[in-house]
């Protein structure tokens, strides 16, 4: 059972501009990067010339979301094109099964004749069965491997697969640029299409910038976003204030050392920008730039003090939203400084990459083809997107829905002094989520429409969720039509299982 917007994703056809030859593909992903960390997203305080140039050459997406705003689940969705409840993969839930991994874009591309490489934070682990032993990272599934387990390390020498780069590039960020450069050189010489995937650790905490760039933001002050501070989060649900995202406004010093914290954050991103420049230079040097599609994004956003929160995870814009840039040098629309306000999501990367390579999109994938928006920026590839959190403290668990204009968040946890809470934001007019419209009678029709979209996404969850790693229970827990007492039974059942594991 698939809603209309899921069915549409399977009806993708490649544009004529992509038909001439199989392009090379470069997929670049940062970690915990907000949109307002880039010049091309309007921040005049930062220096990101290479990424900004990439945006000017291609298309910048203004409404891009990670369907789960935490690294493990997000990376699993990127690789497979599926929502978290179909990958079965997240912290505190479980690892990805090899049967799922075999349907990921790196595996399918390599089977189709692409040379593939991966470097950086892989982000999840594999098992043969839910109860089985963890398997080694799949280095053998790539032609060149620079990946690492868990969070990896900022010191290159501590990343086993990248140790050869440690002397020249002691900080990992530039080492990944060098890895990309070297793979491009080898792949260009081989004369086969290639796919390079790099997952930078930066700017993930603990903040560890490359000292080579200490001068870039020395003494810099930064303009705060208009929704900065606790006074702009008072209308957020009580549930959203119960986990570390709330206390980190203070413990991570956004409240009292904003300029210093943001200078460090932006310095880490500056190093990514330099690495992006290294990779683009390698494409030019080896004369493959004209046939190489580049995708740049992040695994999730980051609050950085907006609404008085830190970190990510929650379904608000700074957390779930992230930058996305796509550049296809073969396309007639390139070089026009394009932007799109269409809904896009991390589940779109796998089907887009497969379509670029001329491959069919498996029916299991939930995403759509981003290149349709390269052809026509005002097109729509999603009617709505689900935003998921089933990590952390139970009150923060939520299913949310975002459309072109609106966002609906349903906070269903109603024990221990909590009440079921709904939030509704007119995102196209209130991107900073300053006004909850849920009680505004002028939005009654929109609220009912979003509730229906929510129910549709939950129906898809119930029909498609994996039968392991405790995902089936959320079909009940997130059912807004059931009384809390009935939903709580599934929650208590889940707690009991977790304690006896």
Backbone angles phi, psi at 118, to 5 degrees: -140, 140
Question: Among 18-32, 137-151, 161-175, whose mean pLDDT is lowest?
Answer: 18-32
pLDDT for res 216: 98
Residue range 77-89: mean pLDDT, rounded: 98
Residue 16 has pLDDT above 50, yes or no: no
Q: Domain ranges for the chain, please list them.
A: 23-382, 386-500
Percent of the chain scored above 70 by pLDDT?
Answer: 94
What pLDDT, in 10s, does the model give residues 126-135? 999 999 999 9
Q: For residue 495, what pLDDT band results from cuts at 50, 70 and 90?
A: low
pLDDT in tens, 38-69: 999 999 999 999 999 999 999 999 999 999 99
Q: How would you classify the pairing of strands 96-97 and 126-127?
A: parallel
pLDDT in tens, 256-297: 999 999 999 999 999 999 999 999 999 999 999 999 999 999
What is the mean pLDDT of the segment spanning 134-159? Answer: 97
The answer on pLDDT for 497 being more than 60 is: no
CATH number of 23-382: 3.40.720.10
Q: Say whether pLDDT at 468 is over 80.
A: yes
Q: Just give the CATH number of 386-500.
A: 3.30.1120.10
Read off the pTM: 0.94
Torsion of CA 314, 316, 319, 323, to 10 degrees: 150
Give residues with Cβ within 8 angstroms of 414, minimum separation 6.
420, 484, 488
Query: What is the pLDDT averaged over residues 156-165?
Result: 98
User: What tens digit of pLDDT does each residue of 361-380 get?
Assistant: 999 999 999 999 999 999 99
From 33, 29, 41, 48, select the one nearest 271 (Cα to Cα): 48
Helix%, strand%, coil% for the chain, nearest 5: 40, 15, 45
Tokens of residue 132, six digits? 């089985």
Judged against a pLDDT cut of 90, whether residue 32 lies above it is answered with: yes
HEC letters along 112-175: CCCEEEEEEECCCCEECCCCCCCECCCHHHCCEEEEECCCCCCEHHHCHHHHHHCCCCCEHHHH
Pairing assessment for the beta strands 338-340 and 59-61 based on DSSP bridges? parallel
Per DSSP, the three-state class of 450 is helix
């Amino acid at each position: 059972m698939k809603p209309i917007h899921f069915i549409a994703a399977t009806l993708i056809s490649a544009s004529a501009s992509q038909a001439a030859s199989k392009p090379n593909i470069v997929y670049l992903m940062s970690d915990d990067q907000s949109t307002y960390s880039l010049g091309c997203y309007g921040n005049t305080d930062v220096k990101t010339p290479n990424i900004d140039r990439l945006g000017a050459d291609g298309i910048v997406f203004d409404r891009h979301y990670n369907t789960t705003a935490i690294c493990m689940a997000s990376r699993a969705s990127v690789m497979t094109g599926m929502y978290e409840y179909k990958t079965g993969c997240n912290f505190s839930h479980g690892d990805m099964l090899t049967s799922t991994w075999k349907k990921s874009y790196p595996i399918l591309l390599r089977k189709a004749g692409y040379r593939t490489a991966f470097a950086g934070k892989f982000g999840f682990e594999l098992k043969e069965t839910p109860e089985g032993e963890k398997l080694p990272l799949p280095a053998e599934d790539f032609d060149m491997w620079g990946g690492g387990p868990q969070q990896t390390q900022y010191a290159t020498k501590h990343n086993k697969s990248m140790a050869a780069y440690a002397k020249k590039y002691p900080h990992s960020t530039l080492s990944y640029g060098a890895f990309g450069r070297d793979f491009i050189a080898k792949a260009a010489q081989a004369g086969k299409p290639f796919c390079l995937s790099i997952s930078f650790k930066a700017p993930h905490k603990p903040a560890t910038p490359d000292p080579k760039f200490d001068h870039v933001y020395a003494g810099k002050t930064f303009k705060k976003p208009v929704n900065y501070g606790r006074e702009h989060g008072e209308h957020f649900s009580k549930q959203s204030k119960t986990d570390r995202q709330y206390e980190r406004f203070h413990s991570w010093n956004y409240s009292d050392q904003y300029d210093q914290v943001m200078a460090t954050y932006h310095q880490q991103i500056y190093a990514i920008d330099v690495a992006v420049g290294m990779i683009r230079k390698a494409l030019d040097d080896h004369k493959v730039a004209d046939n190489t599609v580049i995708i740049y994004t992040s695994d999730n956003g980051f609050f950085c003090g907006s609404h008085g929160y830190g970190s990510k995870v929650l379904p608000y814009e700074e957390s779930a939203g992230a930058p996305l840039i796509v550049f296809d040098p073969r396309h007639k629309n390139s070089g026009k400084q394009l932007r799109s306000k269409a809904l896009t999501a991390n589940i779109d990367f796998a089907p887009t990459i497969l379509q670029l390579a001329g491959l069919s999109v498996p029916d299991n994938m939930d995403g759509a083809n981003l290149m349709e928006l390269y052809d026509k920026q005002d097109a729509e590839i999603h009617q709505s997107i689900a935003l998921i959190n089933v990590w952390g403290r139970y009150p923060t668990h939520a299913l949310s829905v975002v459309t072109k204009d609106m966002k609906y968040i349903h906070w269903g946890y109603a024990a221990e002094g909590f009440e079921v809470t709904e939030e509704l934001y007119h995102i196209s007019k209130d991107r900073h989520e300053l006004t909850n419209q849920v009680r505004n009678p002028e939005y009654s029709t929109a609220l009912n429409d979003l509730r229906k979209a929510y129910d549709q996404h939950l129906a898809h969850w119930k029909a498609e969720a994996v039968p392991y790693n405790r995902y089936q229970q959320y079909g009940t827990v997130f059912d807004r039509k059931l009384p809390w007492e009935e939903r709580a039974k599934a929650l208590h059942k889940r707690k009991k299982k977790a304690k006896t594991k």
